[in-house]
Amino acid sequence: MKYTEELAVFLEVARRGSFAQAARALNLPTTTISRKVQLLEQELDVKLFQRTTRALTLTEAGARLLPRAQSVLETIAELKAEAELHLEKPVGVLNLTMPTSLAQGLAPLFAEFLLAYPNLRMHFHCNNRNLDLTTHRIDFAFRLGPLHDSCLIALPLARIRHLLVGQTQFVAARTPPAHPSEIAHWPCVRSHVDGLLGPWRFVENGNFFDVYPENPVLSDDLLLSRRLVLQGVGLGYLPLGLVQKHLARGMLVSLHEDWLPPGRELFLVYTDKQYLPFKSRVFLSFIKEKQAHIRKLLGDAEAD
């Protein structure tokens, strides 16, 4: 900061009432001490000291400057101390955005991070919209590909596979569909993001095709969609990580798994900054270290 040294010299001269004593205390030549005080006086356009042959005293302007100079230097010292603390222990707030259902799956990971770095806090923005990172001051976003913003750095984390599932009794009461296209006539719960309906995609002989359920129940919340499917309202096309424990308990059954595509890639994205804050570097390092664990949490088969 400009004139920090001059303010420090001014304080030392004021304390000791002598240019010579201030020079000895600061281990500087007396001429340097005098020059720095003169530079400060020129910048402020005031006289700071009244010099006589017998004493050196503060002028009225110097007396007004004294407590302010002390406050400025103390503030700078505090900021330097905080900066040094940042280098040892990350502090501050990390703003993260992700779909609500994904936040549920990754909650154990976030808890582990917060316990490891108690001086950090997290603010979660959980919704199905792709928030602009700069406008909303977001540090990191978890997003499903394909990505469309080439200005963002993207770290691949896991592959999110979707399954066609239904409540066990609901499926047992009906004739099993011989082909995925037949489910278009079944009661279904379909999810959407901001009004955009995600396709129910399948693969046949290496070719993709989409199925569009007729008159489905619509939901923009995957957790609600899962609840409705568990209650027997209809079939759902849901992420494996969201339904795997219900499949293991026999509450849900999966249909036509051989017809399902490999899934969509999940990315951690962030803005291309030349100098990431220390808190962000720590979080990024943590996520890279936990990639295998993330795949396991989200039901990615590559985690095995």
Query: Tell me: the pLDDT tens digits for 140-173?
Result: 999 887 777 677 888 999 888 889 999 999 999 9
pLDDT at 15 over 50: yes
Is the pTM here over 0.85, yes or no? Answer: no
Cβ-based neighbour number of residue 225 at 10 Å: 25
Give the burial string for 102-125 (b: 16+ CB within 10 Å, else e).
bbbbbeeebeebeeebeebebeee
Which pLDDT score, from 0 to 100, does residue 303 have? 43
Residue 3 phi, psi dihedral angles, 5° rounding: 70, 15
Query: Tell me: the pLDDT tens digits for 212-262?
Result: 898 899 988 888 999 999 999 999 999 888 898 999 999 999 999 889 988
Which pLDDT score, from 0 to 100, does residue 174 have? 92
Alpha helices in 17-99 (DSSP H): 19-26, 30-44, 60-88
Least confident of 38-42, 130-134, 150-154, 280-284: 130-134
Residue 49 near residue 58, CB atoms below 8 Å: yes
Please state, in angstroms and rounded to a whole number, the distance separating the CA atoms of residues 90 and 121. Answer: 10
Structure tokens at 71: 């406050």
Nearest residue to 124 via CA among 101, 143, 105, 100: 100
- The angle at the Cα of 151, spanning 147 to 152, to the nearest 5 degrees, equals 60
Q: DSSP string of 229-289? A: HHTTS-EEEEEHHHHHHHHHTTSEEEE-GGGS---EEEEEEEE--SS--HHHHHHHHHHHH
Cis peptide bond N-terminal to 146, omega within 30: yes
Which pLDDT score, from 0 to 100, does residue 86 have? 58
Which pLDDT score, from 0 to 100, does residue 2 have? 67
